Structure formats: C-alpha cells, structure tokens
Amino acid sequence: MVYFRRSGGMGTKKIVGVGLLVLGVVALDLATKWWALQRLSDGSSFEVLGGLVPITLTFNRGAAFGLTIGNDPRWFFIPMTLIAIAFLLVLIRQSGPMERGRPEAAALVLGGAIGNLYDRIRWDRGVVDFIGPIDLGFMDWPIFNIADISITCGAILLAVSFFKEDARNRRGYQSKVTEEGKLDSATGP
C-alpha cells in the first residue's frame, strides 16, 4: 500500500474548497463553544430533540472519551496534535484525482483538530464539550463537541478512502498478474 505519493496534486478549486471546509469546521466549532460558554457557564443544562440529546457544559482535559495522561495532559496532546496536523496537510497536498473524497475527509479531521487545539492552547481547563451525555440504554455516550463530530466523520471517511485505494491497487495488481501470465504462456518454450 502506498498512501503518500505525488500523483498530480489538486487543482486550485479543490484547494480552495478544502481550505473553506477546514475554516468552516473551525468557525462552527469555535462559535458553538463560545455559545456553550455563554449559555451554560452557570451550571445550567437543557435537552434538545425531545430530550434525546442533553446540552451540558464540561471541560475535557484528556482525549476522546475522557482518556487522560497525567495531571496536565495538554503538554502531551498539543505536540501530538501538531504532528497530526502536519500529517493531514501532507495527505491533503499529495491527494491526487483518484483519491476522491480523501482531501475533504482529511479537511474534516484537520478542522476538528485545530478547533480542539485552540482550546488546549488557550487555557488548561481543557477542551470545551457540551453535547451529551447521551443515554444509549446500556451506557452514557460521553460529552463531545462539533470538532469531535468532524474528526470522527473525517476519520471514518479517510478509512473508507484508504480501503477503496487498497482494493483498487489489489485489483490492478491481479489484472497485471493475469496479463503477465497470459503473456508468459503465449511466449513459453
């Protein structure tokens, strides 16, 4: 599997579209976090969608699902996020025309990563989360934010993109082997 190769790159329209997607995710994430801080800082909460989704302000100093490392994990998560951002920028830059959807998927992850990074840099309280917890009947789904939604959706779409590329490469390899086998048998002794 080759995931990093220069294959023609993206056109200007695609670059602008991906950039706008990143900016849109960051703007929506920061705006909703600002709203949550203004509306819920007094400890209040409420429910939407007929009580299905609670809106509750909390600060997550750890990673997804509240996973944490030590007393001040932001000094671990900030450099890790910067490395992930660099990886995503390379992935976006090297996406070629055959990788449909990959730049957009990476842009969703990138926008979410930047949104959560902003919170980690601006204070030690943690990332602002406010959607949830959602009662699934057998467990409470942890509280999250727009950046988390974007990261999750983008990561799933990236996985699908890599899977499709791998399947395409395997089909190409198999057809090449078949063609070579036909050639070998036709030119055999």
**For residue 144, how many other CB atoms are within 10 A of its CB?**
21
Q: Is 17 exposed, middle or buried (0-12, 13-18, 19+ CB in 10 A)?
A: middle
Three-state DSSP at 94 gives: helix
d(CA 169, CA 18): 25
User: What amino acid positions are annotated as catalytic residues?
Assistant: 129, 148
d(CA 1, CA 159): 13
End-to-end, the C-alpha distance of the chain in Å comes to 35
Name the DSSP class of 63.
S
In this structure, the chain runs to a length of 189
**For residue 131, how many other CB atoms are within 10 A of its CB?**
20
